[in-house]
Structures are given as structure tokens and as C-alpha cells.
Amino acid sequence: MPGISHKGISMPESPIRKLVPYSNGAKASGKKVYHLNIGQPDIETPEVALRAVQNFHAQVIEYSPSAGFTSYREGLAEFYKKNEIHLEPEEIMVTCGGSEAISFALNSICDAGDEIIIPEPFYANYNGFTTAAGVNVVPVTSDIDNGFALPPIASFEKQITNHTKAIIICNPGNPTGKLYTIEELEALRDLVLKHDLYLIADEVYREFIYEGTHHSILNLDGLEQNAIVIDSVSKRYSMCGVRIGALISRNSDLMETALKFAQARLSPPTFGQVAGEAALNTPQSYFDEVKAKYVRRRDVLVDGLNTIPGVKCPKPQGAFYCVAELPIDDADVFAQWILESFDYNGQTVMVAPGSGFYATEGLGKSEVRIAYVLQVEDLKNAVEVLRRALDAYPGNTLK
Amino acid sequence: MPGISHKGISMPESPIRKLVPYSNGAKASGKKVYHLNIGQPDIETPEVALRAVQNFHAQVIEYSPSAGFTSYREGLAEFYKKNEIHLEPEEIMVTCGGSEAISFALNSICDAGDEIIIPEPFYANYNGFTTAAGVNVVPVTSDIDNGFALPPIASFEKQITNHTKAIIICNPGNPTGKLYTIEELEALRDLVLKHDLYLIADEVYREFIYEGTHHSILNLDGLEQNAIVIDSVSKRYSMCGVRIGALISRNSDLMETALKFAQARLSPPTFGQVAGEAALNTPQSYFDEVKAKYVRRRDVLVDGLNTIPGVKCPKPQGAFYCVAELPIDDADVFAQWILESFDYNGQTVMVAPGSGFYATEGLGKSEVRIAYVLQVEDLKNAVEVLRRALDAYPGNTLK
């Protein structure tokens, strides 16, 4: 029988995949499962985007240009301009989700064996994109006790080798909710300029800022040739399924290289682009309402979690995730136990164990990632379930 | 300034990209350009698929499962069953176009430096997918004089090394239109079984067969663990822009590995899957009409080409491309000249130079690929333009 590649074998599984049978088992036994593990918002997609697809009356659904429809790229340039980011349409490439934008960026700047530095905990799928590209992740650990602030620049610099090509940040962060300050970003800028690296910023949650101001790395002076931004319509307009993202850079060599990868896969999805272009006309009131909703959810969740004995959860400034430290020593075991062996009034929760968000072996074992994409009442119930579960859990380290 | 990867530098450009400015120039100077270079059919997308998208009334466009909607995978299994291919839904993974299916397959079975054998001329983007995966293409040359029949098995076997992981075929072929016989496929089967390789068949044109019978490698006895099929809705239903394909294999290790790559990129496009699932109900009359149309186009084009002095074009048995040998010694130069310096009654043509479809340096220089996706009258005019152009061309080798 023919074999599987080392690359394929080393591709990470989703951090929650192992739990899915237990979640299904819990549901089969009649329990209600609150899904705190997923990043699929329940917010409605803007009407204007849905209607544009329903009213799209082409008779042939043709390939679009490989870099996306020109009208959409022009529209995106206008959108960023309104957000004080000045871009030409040629500096924006439409991709199949933010995922594809990251893959294009990695393949354009890295060969097999090259290295990318990422502050951990980080979005688990970065492991997948780097593995697929044959690139090694070098983590720099951030600390829950200072709200996952950017680790000291010296700890990044220590990791830079001849193989280092870039630093990746997610701002605001999935899974931490951390919003980097301008000082943190400028320190990263100075570092990448000093060592001639790229700075890749995943800014897909930029509309979800609850405290402070979002600073795009595209606005950092002097970083024009080094800055690569990953964007996506998935969370902004709650339409994860349309699979539309963007790769943004003012570095024309990079964009020309990425275009060759884009040409090989022909084009991004047409219907998704129709939705994305129409969504540019989403009224500000939509975002205001969504933001108010998330602030309330965050407060209910995080304030609630912090009242549970032994739980520590810094308040996120953006996105819709938080990382909580629990009084447990193996979140994988706990996450399985709570689904399999626990319920409170017929309810239980599914959480994402923290270790999947760390590259350093052994870290994150007492942490979980919780997404606050549920209704406030459900979040209140979920916090109560967690409180009772930790109280009942034989492995509670406070005991 | 930070650099570009070797991988990025070695990514091939589209074979026609260099010609685009000349095509635009020809149009700007008022010439009508017949696009014989593209594979975008003018056939209408089935009404049933378009209507399903227009009537899709979800309020949140959510991620779908990473392997695609279950209902769609079940529908695809039914579809293949009707085509005498017996599959379980788990043996079918929905991808973002056939392109993504090839990438998943390559990454699942190959590490950097591994080799894939492909009979040339082949679909130019295979070069892109292999380069992105860090894989080397080893070509085996087929011959226009026998209609691009499968090269002798001995010439494949000669190329097999410790690094060889698979043989890729496209059946029926882009760019050749060649439909492999059952004997050719069985010979390939015996070879891959002997050497424990995968056989990857790109069968995206399987509905477009004009002579003979299509044999899927999924129906070859004994090949269950070695057969990987790439499929797509792009050409079948003339909806290239929806970006929906499929990776098909009965090898569960392979499918589980591919699923990890699929999970990293989250999900295939939702709207495209809605269109794809609805398109399964396309009436047979649609295919009958389309096929009749292509047979007529093929005959007009290929019979016409073969009446031009010095032109040789084997008649394709499937797909909607042909490779023609012209009395020229550099098709890149000719393709540029015909756009830039020639017209017949204000008309000219754009063709894809053959060298882009060969991996062996220097081959295909007197060949062009022509797609017959235009109306019959346009094809007649295009043949006449080509006849006059070759007559006028200073580099005509008959002169």
C-alpha cells in the first residue's frame, strides 16, 4: 500500500477534533451542550450581502480574475481608506478565505525548513499552514498574567536565525483577545526592519475592538516593504462560509509572487466576492449593534469566569475569544470529562483545550479557549455549568 | 528589503500571461480577438443550480463541515453510482475547486524533493501545484503522431526512483483531448501496483466524451488503495466560478490525512456547494445538448485546422481542447506576432503556446493549445484567421 508523506503525518489535527465524539455522545444522551469551542458567530449576515447573491443573475458563473474582481478590489481600497489605511487596488489580492492568504504569504517568502516566529498562544491553524508549507514555527511565549502582552522584544530577537523569514501576529488576537498597543507594534517594526524580516499581521478581527484603538501594521512608517496583512470577510460580516479573504501588501515583488500561486488555483469564489463587495455597503449601525452585543457577552463571560475559584481570565480588548486558566492540570482530560461524565441540570459545555494553541510542548495544559459567540443567557448558563463542573471535578488542583 | 522564496521565484507564470498585454493592445487598436486560449466555456450554467443559490435563504452564511456538507457528499455518491462508480460519502471530500483537491493529494503523499511522473503535454497548472508543494515533475513525453496515446509503460518505469510517489494523468486530457483506453489504464494500474505508487487521475472532463467510453480509475480492480481521483463541477456544469471540486479515494489513510489539510482551511465555499448539490439534478438533456454542441465545434475546428498547409491536429476524443502543430518554430513568437502585427478583416486570434504544457525544455515550441469554447461561426472565422496568418507569417517553416 502506498504511504503518507511525513508532511501529512505531521499535519496537526484540529485541537477539538478528539472531543467531537464526546460532544456527540453527550447530545445523544440528552444533554444540552453549550459550544464554547467554536468561532462561528451567531450574528446575522448583513441583509445587503445576502440580497446581492440572491439577485446575482449571471447566466454563466465564470472564473473571476485570479486576484479577484477589479470592482471588488477597488471597493476594498475605498473601505480601507475610510479606515485610514491608504491602499491601491493592486496592493489587495482577493483570496479564498484568510487561510489562503496566509498560505500564499508563507509560500511566497519561505522555503522548506525556513522559520516563522509567532507569539503563543496563537491561532491553532497557523500550525497547519506552516506544516503544509514545510515551514517551522518558532514560538515566543506570552503570559496570561499580563493579559498576553507582546513578549519582550529580546525574546523574539533571541530566536532569529538565518532561516527566520517573518514574525506573525494576530491583532486583535485569536485566542487571547489581546489588542497590541502602538508601542508594541512599533517595537516589532523596529525588530523586523533591523533583521530584514516580514511582519505578517492577521487583522481579521479589526472591527471587534472593545477597548483602545486598533492600529494596522499597514500604517507603521517605514514598514511598507515588510508589512503583510491577512484579512477576511468571515467574522466582519458573519459570513464565514463565503470563503473570501485578502492578502494585502505594498511590496510589489511579494504581490507578484503571490499572484503566481493565485493563478495556479485560477480564481477565488464568485458568489463570495459578490457577497463581499455588497457587504462593503453594510451600515455602521450593524457594526455598532454587533459590538455592543459582544461587549455584553464578553463582560458576562469573563466577569463570570473570574468569580469561579481558581479561574483566571484576562479581559480581552478585542475579537471574541478569551483564554482562561482553570484549576486543572490537563485541559484535554477535563474537556473530555465534562462532556462525558458531567452535567448540571442536563447541561454541559464544550471548550477548546489550551495546548492546541501553543507550539511549546507542555504549555497551555491548564488553559482553555472560550469563544463568546452565544447569547448572553446561554453564556450565563455555561459559566454556571463550568463553576459546578470544576467544583465536582476530581482533578481540581485546589482540592 | 526582505526577499522572495526560491519556491516563489520558481513558481511558473500562466503560459498566456505574457500575451495578455498584446491581446489588450490588439483590442485597443480595434481588432476583434477570438480567444482560443481559454478554458472558460460559454455554455450556460444549469438553471437548477443558479436558482438554488438565488433561493438559498440562510440568515447566517456559516462554515460548512471541512469535508463539505454531508447532504452534498451523499448526493455526489449517488451521482457517481449512476455513473457506475460505487463510492461511500466518506470517500469523497468536497474541495475549493479541483485545484485544491490536487494540492491536498500532493501534500498528503509527497514531501519536499519527492517526484511525480506526468505524461506531457499536461495541464500547465500541475507545475504550479507541484512547485507549491515542493515536488518535482518528471515528464514522460507523448507523441502528437499517435494522438498523444499513453507513452510506452517502459518509458514511465525508466523514470521511477525512490522519490517517485505517483503518476498523474488527466483523462480525458487537457490539453490533448486524449481519452485513455482501458488497456492503457490497466497498464498504468499494473505499473503503480508493482512499484507501490499512487495513480492520480484528473477526471474533471469525464462528461465531455465524443468517441469511445470513459473509464474511471476508480473502477480498476486492485487499485482501491492507490487510486486518487480529482473532480470538479467547473466544466461539468459550466460554473467555474463557484470553486467546487472533490478529492476521491477509497484509501482511508489518505482521506484522513487530506482532512487535516481541509480542516486547516476550515471549509469549502457554502454557495458553491449549494450550486453543486442542486446541479446534481441537472437533466440529461442538458448534457446531451452540450455534448452535441462540442462535437460540432470540435469537428469545425479540427477539420478546419487540418486543411491548413503544414498544420497537424489529432482529433480529440474528449474535453474541449486540442493541441495543434503549426509550421512555425516558436509558438510564443507566433502568438505574439498574430496579436501584435496581424489581422484578417480586423480579426485576430489568441492561442496558448505549447511550451507551457511541457516540462521538458524545448518541447512544444511548434505547438499551440486551442480551446473550442466559442460558437461555431466564431471558430470558423478563427480557423480562417489562422490560415491567413500562417500564410503571411514570415517565420512559416514551409517557406
Same domain for B103 and B31:
no
Same domain for A315 and A275:
no
Mean pLDDT of B131-154: 97
Distance from CA of A129 to the nearest CA of B (A): 7
Same domain for A230 and A123:
yes
State whether A242 and B54 contact (CB < 8 Å): no
A399 found inside a domain: no
Rounded CA separation B126/B13 (Å) = 12
In chain A, the percentage of residues whose pLDDT exceeds 90 is 96
Same domain for B304 and B217:
no
pLDDT at position B237, please? 97
Rounded CA separation B170/B230 (Å) = 9
Distance from CA of B398 to the nearest CA of A (A): 36
Same domain for B261 and B119:
yes
pTM exceeding 0.90: yes
Taking only the tens place, the pLDDT of each residue in A344-386 is 999 999 999 999 999 999 999 999 999 999 999 999 999 999 9
Taking only the tens place, the pLDDT of each residue in B2-13 is 999 999 999 998
Taking only the tens place, the pLDDT of each residue in B204-213 is 999 999 999 9
Report whether pLDDT(A15) > 90: no
A163 at the B interface (CB within 8 A)? no
Identify the residue among B136, B252, B265, B293 best suited for mutation to test binding to A, counting A beta carbons within 10 A and taking the highest.
B265
The answer to whether residues A167 and A191 touch, using CB atoms and an 8 Å cutoff, is yes
Look up residue A39 and give its three cell numbers: 468561532
pLDDT at position A332, please? 96
Q: CATH number, domain at A18?
A: 3.90.1150.10
DSSP labels, B254-274: HHHHHHHHHHHT----HHHHH
B162 found inside a domain: yes
A239 at the B interface (CB within 8 A)? yes
Report whether pLDDT(B39) > 80: no
A362 at the B interface (CB within 8 A)? no
Same domain for A167 and A311:
no
pLDDT at position A221, please? 97
Same domain for B231 and B88:
yes
The answer to whether residues A318 and A235 touch, using CB atoms and an 8 Å cutoff, is no
Q: Which member of A63, A132, A241 has the closest CB to residue B261?
A: A132
A165 at the B interface (CB within 8 A)? yes
Mean pLDDT of A257-283: 97
pLDDT at position B18, please? 86
Contacts of B2 in chain A (CB under 8 A): 109, 165-166, 192, 196-198, 225-226, 251
B38 found inside a domain: yes
pLDDT at position B223, please? 98
Taking only the tens place, the pLDDT of each residue in A56-89 is 999 999 999 999 999 999 999 999 999 999 999 9
Taking only the tens place, the pLDDT of each residue in B197-255 is 999 999 999 999 999 999 999 999 999 999 999 999 999 999 999 999 999 999 999 99
Same domain for A294 and A244:
no
Contacts of A6 in chain B (CB under 8 A): 111
Closest-approach residue (CA) in chain B for A250: B1
CB–CB contacts below 8 A, A to B: 274
Instruction: State how beta strands B32-35 and B347-350 pair.
Output: parallel
Distance from CA of A392 to the nearest CA of B (A): 34
Report whether pLDDT(B15) > 80: no
The answer to whether residues A236 and A209 touch, using CB atoms and an 8 Å cutoff, is no
A331 at the B interface (CB within 8 A)? no
B343 found inside a domain: yes
Q: Where are the beta strands (DSSP E) in chain B?
A: 32-35, 92-95, 115-120, 136-141, 164-170, 198-202, 227-232, 245-249, 321-325, 347-350, 352-353, 367-371
Residue A305 dihedral angles phi and psi, to the nearest 5°: -60, -40
Contacts of A43 in chain B (CB under 8 A): 60
pLDDT at position A254, please? 98
Same domain for A177 and A313:
no
B82 found inside a domain: yes
pLDDT at position A13, please? 87
- Select from B255, B279, B303 the last residue of a domain: B279
A221 at the B interface (CB within 8 A)? no
Taking only the tens place, the pLDDT of each residue in B57-69 is 999 999 999 999 9
Contacts 24+ apart (CB under 8 A), B131-134: B131/B7, B131/B10, B131/B11, B131/B12, B132/A107, B132/A261, B132/A264, B132/B7, B132/B11, B132/B103, B133/B103, B133/B106, B133/B107, B134/A111, B134/A112, B134/A134, B134/B7, B134/B110
Same domain for B256 and B224:
yes
Half-sphere exposure of B355 (CA within 13 A, CB side): 17
pLDDT at position A16, please? 82
Distance from CA of B32 to the nearest CA of A (A): 21
Closest-approach residue (CA) in chain B for A43: B60
Residues with Cβ within 8 Å of A341's Cβ and at least 6 positions away in sequence, in order, are: none
pLDDT at position A31, please? 97
Same domain for B188 and B87:
yes
**Which B residues 96-135 touch A at CB under 8 Å?**
96-97, 99-100, 103, 107-112, 114, 125, 127-129, 132, 134
Report whether pLDDT(A39) > 80: no
Task: Residue B67: give the domain boundaries.
Answer: 47-279
Same domain for B380 and B346:
yes
pLDDT at position B40, please? 82
Mean pLDDT of A214-218: 98
Instruction: State how beta strands B245-249 and B227-232 pair.
Output: antiparallel
A41 at the B interface (CB within 8 A)? yes
A1 found inside a domain: no
pLDDT at position A242, please? 97
- Select from B261, B279, B297 the last residue of a domain: B279
A397 found inside a domain: no
A316 at the B interface (CB within 8 A)? no
Q: CATH number, domain at B256?
A: 3.40.640.10
Rounded CA separation A213/A183 (Å) = 12
Q: Which member of B59, B198, B240 has the closest CB to residue A2?
A: B198
Distance from CA of A132 to the nearest CA of B (A): 7
Number of domains chain B contains: 2
- Select from A261, A279, A297 the last residue of a domain: A279
Contacts of A263 in chain B (CB under 8 A): 13-14, 17, 125, 128
Q: For the purposes of burial, counting CB atoms within 10 Å of the CB of A225, is it exposed (0-12), middle (13-18) or buried (19 or more)?
A: middle
State whether A5 and B111 contact (CB < 8 Å): yes
State whether A12 and B132 contact (CB < 8 Å): no
A10 found inside a domain: yes
